[in-house]
């Protein structure tokens, strides 16, 4: 009952996985495979359906459990776009870039990714994080920035 899981590629995540005491299984491979290939903003069910179609032995529960681990380990980011289900993205793409910035349409829930203005953002965020860390004795490990509004279609339709 194997599932042709993108053989031959460097399974870069195995190290981190084992390092944290987790086992490598076909299901987990398949889930990370889907995340690294597929479009962005996948929900747990999206991932389940994709994985399941190739490897029917994987259940929804395992998808949730694996995603939780991946988020804890830092390989995956979990987002809430306000439509009642969580979305998951690999934290780094193949080039090691780390762009997860979203414009969210409040009307149709469309999500647009952007990768502009990141440098200035990063600069400000760094400065802010340092200041906040010190003042509140808070060890900052991450942040979230999202913009809300109306996408082109919805703005015109109104």
Partner DNA sequence: ATATAAATGGAAATGGTTATCATTACTATT
Partner DNA sequence: AATAGTAATGATAACCATTTCCATTTATAT
- Among 59, 106, 109, 126, the residue binding its own copies under the rule CB under 8 A is 106
Q: Considering only CA atoms, which of 50, 5, 55 is closest in space to residue 29?
A: 5
Rounded to a whole number of angstroms, the minimum distance from the CB of residue 45 to its own copies is 18
Q: Exposed, middle or buried by CB within 10 Å (0-12, 13-18, 19+), for 63?
A: buried
Rounded to a whole number of angstroms, the minimum distance from the CB of residue 46 to DNA is 9
Q: Considering only CA atoms, which of 88, 140, 82, 147 is closest in space to residue 112?
A: 147
The pair of three-digit structure tokens given for residue 69, joined into one six-digit string: 């681990």
- Among 12, 121, 126, 157, the residue binding its own copies under the rule CB under 8 A is 121
CB 58 within 8 A of CB 44: no
Nearer to its own copies, 94 or 117 (CB): 117
Question: 123-142: which residues touch its own copies (CB under 8 A)?
Answer: 124, 127-129, 131-132, 135-142
Instruction: Please report, as ranges, the residues that interact with its own copies according to CB under 8 A.
Output: 80, 82, 103, 105-106, 112, 114, 116-117, 120-121, 124, 127-129, 131-132, 135-152, 155
């Amino acid at each position: 009952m194997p599932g042709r899981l993108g053989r031959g590629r460097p399974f870069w995540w195995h190290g981190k996985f084992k390092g944290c005491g987790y086992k490598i299984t076909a299901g987990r491979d398949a889930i990370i495979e889907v995340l690294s290939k597929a479009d962005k903003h996948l929900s747990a069910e999206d991932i389940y359906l994709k994985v399941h179609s190739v490897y029917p032995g994987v259940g929804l529960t395992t998808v949730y459990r694996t995603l939780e681990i991946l988020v804890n380990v830092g390989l995956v980011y979990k987002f809430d776009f306000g439509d009642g289900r969580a979305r998951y993205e690999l934290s780094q793409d193949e080039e090691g870039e780390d762009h997860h910035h979203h414009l969210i349409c409040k009307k149709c829930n469309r999500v647009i990714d952007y990768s502009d203005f990141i440098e200035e953002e990063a600069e400000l965020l760094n400065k802010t994080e340092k200041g906040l860390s010190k003042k509140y004795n808070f060890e900052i490990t991450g942040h979230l920035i999202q913009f809300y509004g109306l996408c082109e279609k919805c703005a015109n339709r109104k």
